[in-house]
Amino acid sequence: MNLLANPLANAMLPASAFTSAWLQQQNDSTTIPGGEAIASLFDPFGFGRAAFGYWRDSMERSVLYLDVMRERGNQYLEHMEQTKPSVLGFDTEVLIDGRTLPRPTNYELLRVLPHEGTEIDLQKRPFVVVDPRAGHGPGIGGFKPDSELGVALKAGHPCYFIGFLPFPEPGQTVEDVVESEVAFLRHVIELHPETTEKPMVVGNCQAGWQIMMAAALEPEVFGPILIAGAPLSYWAGEHGKAPMRYTGGMAGGSWITALTSDIGDGLFDGAWLVQNFERLNPANTYWKKQYHLYDNVDTEAGRYLDFERWWGGHVVLGGEEIQYIVDNLFVGNRLSTAQLVTHDGRRIDLRNVRSPVVVFCSRGDDITPPPQALGWIRDLYENEDDIIAHEQTIVYCQHDTTGHLGIFVSGSVSRKEHTEFTANMDYIDVLPPGLYETSISPAEKGEDAELFERDYLLEFMPRDFAELDRAVMHKPEDDRRFATVARISEINLGLYRLFMQPWIKAVMTPEAARFIRRMHPIRLGYKLLSDRNPLSVPLPVMAEAVRKNRHPVSQDNLFKALETMGSGQLVASLNAMRDLRDSSTEKMFMDVYGQPLLQAAVGLYGDAHVHRRRPGAEPEHRRFIEQRQAELREKIAQGSAHEAVMRSLIYVLGGAPATDERNFKRLRASRAELEPGIKLSDFKSLVRERFFILKLDREQALNSLPTLLAGSSNDDIDGYISHLEHVFAASGDLSEHAAERFVQIKALFDRARPRKPMENKPVASKSAAASNSAATAKSAAKPKAVAAKPRETQAVTPAAAAKEQSVVDEQPSAKEVSSKSATTNESANEAAAKPTSATGRKKTPPKR
């Protein structure tokens, strides 16, 4: 291309336009024959050509970058003018508008319409995603095809979405929103009478603690719950990380929230929350994100604009809502300690949640780190046995690197973690109560290839509180500091409401509040670079010309390499400034709120319990446990062979270090063989009841197995043992401890094997009768001892059956059995109940 003939390019050139154009022509060997040789003559080392190529490329990238910023501004204005702005990537239809409920809210229930070619199975569990309302607009849970909604739709689940509108209803409260979500879930349940499974509910970030509140109040409408990046324990955190937990203390409490709401005439601008997020990582906010677009402007424009459509979609919260959140959650930490009470007197206790709870967090998340996502477990329960006593199943998964948004936005996370959680919700739903950690590993194809439906395998490992503490890293000395912040916040808020709030409310008008929102720095950043700015008029024309004649340089260009190095140095400098700021803030927080004089002034010094004491068990819950235990004791010896198999399965796997989804798949596949027609909900109840029976009285529960198997034939018992081996083999070899338990189970199953009734035979002679009596006394115990020994094969061979039959046929009538032989039989029965090793040596039952 001849640059001298291009007016637009000439307008972009500096004073030495002709010289630069000539150099460009020399750099283009196709313009002038022998141009490369001439350029080499004047520039033997290539520095001039490299400099000009980089200068031209940087100018072109600058034009394209500014044009993308212009498109971002236009997109922002268009998005904010919509009545229901959303970045949801799926078509939907409104089922319930929250504004029509008895207590109106700005939330709504949407049915997600699948893409063409996607088949929905109405027999499957409904899937509901609740979007976070923390400054941004709705839609992030279904932002991409590989999102939480996309994963569920591909799996064939009917999907629903709970979103919201930009402005709250007058007088709307957090409790109103919780009640709206409960009403939405009840409606979803009514829409699916064909399934008995409750909806699986996913809550991201702020929506996570919100649905946990709803599940604590109305547990019967929730199926499994997945909370991703949701903070529930706001005082928890590791020193040197989680800087946001110090924000309330450094601001003097929640009075600043009330001030911001009053300036907004009762509305809180979500742009302030977004600004707080952006300040956490200034390197990414002020340089890295923008430079990444500038450096890759030819390929990154579409992805950047898609994300900015959500990131810049600021919404408004009610002043009463945000004040409730800051006072009771961020500063007060009352949710994780069961101190919240609704307006009608109901206590919000997360121990009331009866659905399995899956907590997904990441070590790379600086907004909701693992201590804040998992600390509520330690706040509420004394130990893992306390979790079991409340019949709760809690599963947590820690990602290593992804950030806060990546937990529910990243396509790689959705394709891996969210896919596994969604596909295994039925398995999680039948897990016995307790605390588990999951790990996701690549599936190894082999003999069990039919059990691998995806590329990854989800494994569950039982955890105790000592292992949980490694993630929570609780420090009791920090509790008094945060309790001091809560007290000071109450004092400052009261002073603000007494002296300042009346004056601000008197002078603030809706028009002034609207103008202040429009002038927010973040909002202005979008508006100033849009078509409403007259200076942006030439940008689309210039960008189009550049795209038609683009001249990018390679990464090995000297000056491009220097640019990359400079960018890296700038990012490192900004990160160092951030680290210095965060460490200084943390040190100041610890020093100020750790002062004994300040703590004494607010009445906390010397208080051993402070503000974060663990809630005790309610009397009605204790009575419930006692009643439940009495019911289970009556059921220990009741049931059928199915109960015996399930009890054995739980007992053996309870001693294993871990289990995975393959066990459940084989058990689910063979469930129809053991008990045709059983529903998943009944199967879940069966598993949990057998688990509690073993937990209540393991010895009696095991000794009752022969009673449960009474009436089963040898072939039936062989089939049950074979079935158990088939399930255990799904996840590999059993551990030594689990194998010992399985040997014990086999011995107990052998005790239930039927014996052929003894026939009454005439006594040939006195000497023959005495001889037979002695032989019988010796042989009567022999079958019992053999029964205690684990079988080498699962099927009884014809030879073994014939031998066993001959021993039985030789036995005399019942009248001829002496008291001595009866005593011998009883001793043999006791020996049969004891586990034996593979060599036949007796062992005592392993202690758990």
**pLDDT tens-digit profile of 150-190?**
888 988 999 999 999 999 999 999 999 999 999 999 999 99
Q: What is the mean pLDDT of residues 782-807?
A: 37
User: In 296-337, which ranges are continuous DSSP H helix?
Assistant: 297-311, 319-325
pLDDT digits (tens, 9 = 90+) for 354-373: 999 999 999 989 899 999 99
Identify the burial level of 242 via C-beta atoms within 10 angstroms of its C-beta, where 0-12 means exposed, 13-18 middle and 19 or more buried: buried
Please spell the DSSP secondary structure of 68-137, one letter per residue.
Answer: HHHHHHHHHHHHHTSSS-----SEEEEEEEGGGSSS--SEEEEEEEPPTT----TTSPPEEEE---SSB-
98 neighbors 157 (Cβ within 8 angstroms):
no
C-alpha 187/C-alpha 107 separation (Å) is 14
pLDDT at 174: 96
Three-state SS at 157: coil
> What are the backbone dihedrals phi and psi of residue 508, each rounded to the nearest 5 degrees, phi first?
-90, 135
What count of Cα atoms within 13 Å lies in the side-chain half-sphere of residue 557?
20
Cα dihedral across residues 368, 374, 377, 382: positive or negative: negative
743 neighbors 837 (Cβ within 8 angstroms):
yes
Three-state SS at 162: strand
Spell out the domain ranges in the chain: 95-235+333-474, 625-754, 762-848
What count of Cα atoms within 13 Å lies in the side-chain half-sphere of residue 522?
21
* Most confident region among 217-226, 235-244, 628-637 by mean pLDDT: 217-226
pLDDT digits (tens, 9 = 90+) for 312-323: 889 999 999 999
Average of per-residue pLDDT values in the chain:
80
Q: What is the mean pLDDT of residues 226-242?
A: 91
pLDDT at 242: 84
C-alpha 556/C-alpha 809 separation (Å) is 92
pLDDT at 209: 95
C-alpha 2/C-alpha 9 separation (Å) is 10
C-alpha 427/C-alpha 777 separation (Å) is 51
Helices and strands (DSSP H and E) totals, the chain: 39, 15
For 318, the enclosing helix (H) or strand (E) is strand 316-318
Q: What count of residues does the chain have?
A: 848
Confidence of residue 789 (pLDDT cuts 50, 70, 90): very low
Residue with tokens 């959705």: 414
C-alpha separations of 244 from 482, 572, 694 in Å: 13, 21, 44
Q: Which residues pair with 282 in a beta bridge?
A: none
C-alpha 208/C-alpha 322 separation (Å) is 16
Q: Which residues pair with 314 in a beta bridge?
A: 136
C-alpha 391/C-alpha 743 separation (Å) is 29
Q: Any idea which of 382-386, 678-682, 685-689, 778-782 has the lowest mean pLDDT?
A: 778-782
Please spell the DSSP secondary structure of 629-682, one letter per residue.
Answer: HHHHHHTTT---HHHHHHHHHHHHHHTSS-EEHHHHHHHHHHHHHHSTT--HHH
Q: Any idea which of 80-94, 551-565, 644-658 has the lowest mean pLDDT?
A: 644-658
C-alpha 295/C-alpha 186 separation (Å) is 50
Whether pLDDT at 266 is above 80:
yes
pLDDT at 248: 92
358 neighbors 428 (Cβ within 8 angstroms):
yes
C-alpha 757/C-alpha 550 separation (Å) is 96
67 compared with 694, residue with greater pLDDT: 67
> What are the backbone dihedrals phi and psi of residue 797, each rounded to the nearest 5 degrees, phi first?
-75, 155
95-235+333-474 CATH choice from 2.60.260.20, 3.30.390.50, 3.40.50.1820, 3.30.70.580: 3.40.50.1820
The CA-to-CA distance between both ends of the chain, in Å, stands at: 81
For 831, the enclosing helix (H) or strand (E) is helix 819-833
> What are the backbone dihedrals phi and psi of residue 639, each rounded to the nearest 5 degrees, phi first?
130, -175
Residue 671's CB: how many other CB atoms inside 10 A?
Answer: 18
Residue with tokens 């922002």: 76
Please report how the helices 47-80 and 539-548 are oriented relative to each other, as an axis angle in degrees rounded to 10: 130
489 compared with 698, residue with greater pLDDT: 489
CA 201 to chain centre: 11
